[in-house]
Amino acid sequence: MYDVVIIGSGASGGAVAYTLCMAGYKVALLEKGRLIGRDEFSKDELAYCRRDLVTPNLFDEYHTAEEKVDGEWVATPGYESGMSFWNGNIVGGSSNFMSGMLHRMHPDDFRLKSKYGEIEGANVVDWPISYEELESYYALAEELVGISGYFEPHPHAPWRSTANFTQPPTKENAVVKLLDKSCIALGIKPLVTSRAVLSQNKAGRNACYYSNYCGSYGCSSGAKSSSREALIAPALATGNLTLLSNTHVKKIHTESKTSVKHVVAVDTLNGKEKHIEGKLFVVAAQAHETARLLLNSANEYHPNGLGNSSGELGKNLIFSGGGSGQGELHKEGLKEIAFEELMTTGLFVNRSVLDWYFVDNPKDGRFKGGSVEFMFEHQNIIARADKDNEENGKMLWGAALGDRVKKRFEEQKSIRFEIFNDWLPTDDCFVALDTAHTDKYGMPVGKIRLNGHPQDIKVGEYIAQYCEKILEEMGAKNIYSSVSAAPAQNLVAGGCRFGDDPKTSVLNKYCRSHDVENLYVADASFMPTGGSVAYTWTIYANAFRVADAIVAHLKSV
């Protein structure tokens, strides 16, 4: 029997495993996918971005996405729609493939209801903890995981207990000179992006080698601050961690109303089932899959799903609201920098804008806004070559197509912005079980109802107009933006909301089940609201906080 059994090895599972192993406890870390070493990661666009190298085949495992069509909710399986909510089913999870543009949430993100009041049609609540309670864990994640950057004071930047980052920013493309000057000309303050990529060597991990292929790809130097590199590897070195890859948990089994006895897992290589016992259990399978597992673990003590006495399990699922846009910087007419500098590959843009994180002015009113990240267009060769292959409504072929592709690659470079704002929780965005569909293991798949709040679109469009002005000031051409209610399938949270009242939440403030004494949830499921930044840094920080609570729990029993 293990002291703790952790289901899922991504950012949250790794943080909990690291803390417990360093404290001397025996931990089993269960991961459905396989272990991939640094030397196996490649920059193969077909393998990672076009095929299912690190995610399940959608005919074997999938979700059904429920969307409104002509006023009716219609559920479509992933193998028909192509929608995949799998984000890296290997040891370390999706943290292996992130771009690593991380920010802390702002103190006011923890008190959205108190700050802005009720929002019609949205289930906005304050968090049961404050930024002050999480700040030291943000600092801990910054150091242990490895986040590089440079802190600059800003009215909308959260306060820090440490003066600056322990690692300087990653190397930057010369385009930042043009971007910075353009922002300043418009009265906008550009900030250096904090990034979960090492700029210097650190404890067995090599600094970034600027491969030009970061987001969507695994890192072969160890620079990317994935759970696998930063946390699981040192946890394994303690001798206290048992890593069980290719182990898929089908059910969490209880033999009483308040205590988990074991999990039922299947070996994905041979199909054999086994029981894995522990004193405490931590679910960290990614928000929608965590809720699905708990719902599939219903029994006589918990008929509506494990730990679901509130009826809130799976409810208030959130994604990341926002949108994106881009423009082209052409060789002809380029300002401030030499074209050769712009075309230097591998270096980051490394710029963020927080000026519209909160909006409060006579012209536009008062509302919660969002953050913006600037980057180059994804460098995937196939995807880039596939763009702009029409002229006057007709497909280009032969020499004409070749000339268009050559010009695109050699005479221009596209700069892109991505907007992050709150996806407000509503009654019509949740995950439930689809009993009409089962995966290859015989488990009912998750049915994810997708519905965004109108405010999400309003905020995205508001910010996009200013981002387009920045690109105009830079001299970019063919500028456009796209803001929609479509979810970012790689950024999922909610479903196991934490709170002080067991009647309205699934977890308590330490992310322990209100109903089951030895069950914790450590991934982004706990989040009642998501803030206006990517979730990853907050997932890391909160998981370290939860791990400390688990250590205290173990010491008390």
Does position 129 have pLDDT exceeding 80, yes or no? yes
Same domain membership, residue 349 and residue 467:
yes
Among 486, 508, 539, which residue terminates a domain? 486
pLDDT > 70 fraction of the chain, expressed in percent and rounded? 100
Per-residue pLDDT at 385: 83
CA distance 63 to 247: 20
Does position 470 have pLDDT exceeding 80, yes or no? yes
Same domain membership, residue 363 and residue 464:
yes
Same domain membership, residue 190 and residue 266:
no
Summarize pLDDT for 506-532 with one digit per residue, the tens. 999 999 999 999 999 999 999 999 999
Task: Match 């709040």 to its residue by tokens.
Answer: 453
What tokens appear for 232 in the block?
Answer: 């699981």
Per-residue pLDDT at 386: 82
Per-residue pLDDT at 392: 78
Q: Is residue 60 part of a domain?
A: no
Per-residue pLDDT at 506: 98
CA distance 215 to 213: 6
CA distance 324 to 417: 5
Does position 52 have pLDDT exceeding 90, yes or no? no
Dihedral sign for Cα 245, 248, 254, 257, please.
positive
Summarize pLDDT for 283-319 with one digit per residue, the tens. 999 999 999 999 999 999 999 999 999 999 999 999 9
Summarize pLDDT for 475-500 with one digit per residue, the tens. 999 999 999 888 888 899 999 999 99
What tokens appear for 262 in the block?
Answer: 């074991």
Per-residue pLDDT at 293: 98
248 closest CA partner among 228, 232, 263:
263
Among 486, 504, 538, which residue terminates a domain? 486
Same domain membership, residue 327 and residue 313:
no
Per-residue pLDDT at 384: 87
Summarize pLDDT for 178-234 with one digit per residue, the tens. 999 999 999 999 999 999 999 999 999 999 999 999 999 999 999 999 999 999 999
Same domain membership, residue 313 and residue 324:
no
Q: What's the structural domain count of the chain?
A: 2
Same domain membership, residue 200 and residue 172:
yes
55 contact partners, CB below 8 Å, separation of at least 6: 84, 86, 87, 88, 89
Summarize pLDDT for 228-264 with one digit per residue, the tens. 999 999 999 999 999 999 999 999 999 899 999 999 9
For the chain, state the CA radius of gyration: 23
Range of the domain at 354: 147-216+320-422+453-486
Summarize pLDDT for 153-167 with one digit per residue, the tens. 999 999 999 999 999
Same domain membership, residue 305 and residue 230:
yes
CA distance 216 to 198: 17
Summarize pLDDT for 8-27 with one digit per residue, the tens. 999 999 999 999 999 999 99
Per-residue pLDDT at 389: 77
**Per-residue CA distances from 40 to 53, 217, 222 (Å):** 12, 11, 12
Given strand 477-483, what is the order of strands in its sheet?
190-192, 351-353, 370-376, 412-422, 320-330, 477-483
Cα-based angle 508, 514, 516 (whole degrees, multiple of 5)? 130
Summarize pLDDT for 388-408 with one digit per residue, the tens. 777 777 888 888 888 888 888
Same domain membership, residue 341 and residue 195:
yes
Does position 83 have pLDDT exceeding 90, yes or no? yes
Per-residue pLDDT at 487: 87
Give the CATH number of the domain where residue 366 resides.
Answer: 3.30.410
pLDDT > 90 fraction of the chain, expressed in percent and rounded? 91
Give the CATH number of the domain where residue 270 resides.
Answer: 3.50.50.60
Does position 98 have pLDDT exceeding 90, yes or no? yes
Per-residue pLDDT at 396: 84
CA distance 439 to 410: 46
Provide mean pLDDT across the span 413-441: 97
243 closest CA partner among 38, 545, 8, 550:
8
Q: Is residue 44 part of a domain?
A: no
Same domain membership, residue 348 and residue 313:
no
Same domain membership, residue 125 and residue 164:
no
Per-residue pLDDT at 485: 86
